[in-house]
Structure 1
Amino acid sequence: MVFCRTIASLLLSSGIALTPAAHAAGITVHDARNREIAVTDSGRTVSIGGAITEILYALGLESRLVGVDTTSLYPAAALQDKPNVGYMRQISAEGVLGLNPTLILAIQGSGPRETMDILETAKVPLVLVPDTFTEAGLIEKIKLVGHAMGVDARAACLSAAVSADFAQLRALRAKVTKPVRVMFVMSLQNGRALVAGRKTAAEEIIQLAGAANAIDDFDGYKIIGDEAIAVARPDVALSIERGKDPVQAEAIYAHPGFALTPVAANKSFIAMDGLYLLGFGPRTAAAARDLSTRLYPALAERGDGFTSALSAANCRQ
């Protein structure tokens, strides 16, 4: 009962919250739910999703942010300076609405469902941002976020820089003559590997780097056994760096399944920052370039010719 009264009061306050100045007045956004969302004020925005936060900072809109989620790891100032509303899949409605937002930008897949239902009933625009793991999907993400915030010109600038980086990446990828087989390992659970199949951010970044996903017989993430790993015969194991229970190189090499593959024979294990590698934010082309040069050292040795247009662009004003 107390919880319900608290939620009710937050819903009421979120509907009447006043901000010093309105931004993005009179804008309509077509979001991932195929709904038209009217945005009248983006002056107090909550960002749920690391890629969204990264885009907002790249567009110079951090002053409008009043809250971010725990995946908002880049830039580091986001989590240091802004209130934290929790992990994107375990968001608290109270935590979000208690910040009196005028706009909520949430990456597709945010949850839990109960929280999203509560946020839907609040008198605050909730824009669900599509999370499609392709170059076109990333450009769409940037343009949608920029449009919702009323800064279409800045979003066009950022989209152009990101597109230029992808063009350079394509030229780099064209130099790869024999794609290596990469298996992305999210975790080792009781000796069993949780790996990425088709239609995942991991598969897309592997392909962007000029490699092939060693798993091609299922979608999403799945725990597989030793025999399946041996049959897939990956050349490289790829994972993400994280503070808690990271996948360790030695654990991969000693694993019975990987021990029968070139991964163990060649000591081929790569770990990279999770948001950088899988976030599909503005730095994705650079992340794919970095992965590519680690997969194919010869590219780095002779110079890959990649000069990031993103790092040179100023899309913040």
Structure 2
Amino acid sequence: MSGARRIVCLTEETVETLYLLGEQDRIVGVSGYAVRPPQVRREKPRVSAFTSADMPKILALDPDLVLTFSDLQADIAAELIRAGIAVHAFNQRDVAGIRAMIRTLGALVGAVEKAETLAQGYEDRLRVIAATSRAGPRPRVYFEEWDDPMISGIGWVAELITIAGGEDAFPQLSAQKAAKDRILTGDDVIAAAPDVILASWCGKKVVPDRIRQRPGWQAIPAIRNDRIVEIKSPLILQPGPAALTDGLDTIVAALHGV
């Protein structure tokens, strides 16, 4: 076995990727949010949330590599590095970055060819979906990542909306990596007049009635036509395979009723 042999994954997407590469035996610890594939919940010990981690538990697993994601896990990464643990911090925020993550992870575990096949397969899949001919104009889509304050969708979500045949209502915000830079107001959404509202409230259940009852929102086409669709956060808010498969398929179904 080449590459890292004892890996702790502190976010979901690297867990799913390692399983898809057939390299799951290397995983010795995972995030508490890891749910894909379903067997991970019974096969791997949970050692972290998203912005916090059980450091003694991680160190006791004697990992030779810990995989983290984004600036929100920077303090965890720093503590692990000070403890002498090798850390790779991913920071992908778009579809190309997701494919690059897969290829990089393959290199880290000595599965370069399998990773290339997986990444290329997703690239081909997205190209086919994007090229699918659909009747009528592109529906304008507001993706809500959080409800209070209201936060619009990040880069890879906006890209997937476009690939699915929609038009992101707030393209200027999707380029912002930090959630605080994607905060908007109810009036912003009213002015954008989305045809569809997709909501994924980052780990809590979406309540459509709460969206419908916002002041002035009855004028929004998506509200008038009852086109509010929840997408479970593990399917779309993790920048990994789930977003490119089940997440994208859910968006296509929401926009085109298939």
TM range (shorter): 0.7 to 0.9
For residue 207 of structure 2, what is the aligned residue in structure 1?
Answer: 248
> How far apart are residue 110 of structure 1 and its match?
4.5
Question: How far apart in 2 are the matches of 1:87 and 1:167?
Answer: 34
Distance (Å, rounded) in 2 between the aligned partners of 1:188 and 1:166: 29
Is the counterpart of residue 137 in structure 1 residue 93 in structure 2? Answer: no
State the alpha-carbon separation in 2 of the partners of residues 205 and 166 from structure 1.
Answer: 9
With over 3 angstroms needed to count, the CA separation of the structure-2 counterparts of 1:103 and 1:226, relative to structure 1, is closer
1:243–1:127 distance in 2 versus 1, CA, 3 Å: closer
> Any residues of structure 2 matched to 1:157-306 within 5 Å, and which?
157-172=117-132, 174-175=133-134, 177-189=136-148, 193-196=149-152, 199-218=154-173, 219=176, 220-221=178-179, 222-240=182-200, 244=204, 246-286=205-245, 287-297=247-257, 300=258
Bigger helix share: 2
- 1:50·1:73 contact (CA, 8 Å) conserved in 2? yes
The match for 1:50 among 3, 6, 12 is: 12
Alignment partners' CA distance in 1, 2:155 and 2:122: 20
| Pairwise CA distance, 1:59 | 0.7
Report the RMSD for the aligned CA atoms in angstroms.
Answer: 2.2
> Which protein is bigger by CA-based radius of gyration?
1
Measured in 1, the distance between the counterparts of 2:223 and 2:79 equals 49
Distance 1:284 1:98 in 2: 32
Deviations 1:136-176 (A, max 9, x none): 2222111100100111121122123222212222222x436
Q: Percent identity of the aligned residues?
A: 23
Equivalent-residue separation in structure 1 for 2:203 and 2:8 (angstroms): 25
Q: Which residue of 1 aligns with 2:32?
A: 70
Contact 2:142/2:194, CA 8 A, preserved across alignment: yes
How many residues are matched? 252
Query: Where does the alignment leave 5 or more consecutive residues of structure 1 unmatched?
Result: 1-21, 25-41, 301-317
Superimposed CA distance per residue, residues 85-118 of structure 1 (whole angstroms, 9 cap, x where no aligned partner) = 122222243332222111112223342x332211
Answering whether residue 67 of structure 2 is matched by residue 105 of structure 1, we say yes
What secondary structure does 2:71 align onto?
Answer: coil
What letter corresponds to residue 264 of structure 1 in structure 2? I
Q: Displacement of 1:243 after TM fit?
A: 6.3
In 1: Cα distance, 2:187 partner to 2:130 partner: 35
Say if 2:32 and 2:49, in contact at 8 Å, map to a contact too: yes
TM-score normalized with structure 1 length: 0.72
User: In the superposition, relative to structure 1, how do residues 242 and 230 fare at CA in structure 2: closer, same or farther (>3 Å)?
Assistant: closer
| Structure 2: gaps (5+ residues) | none
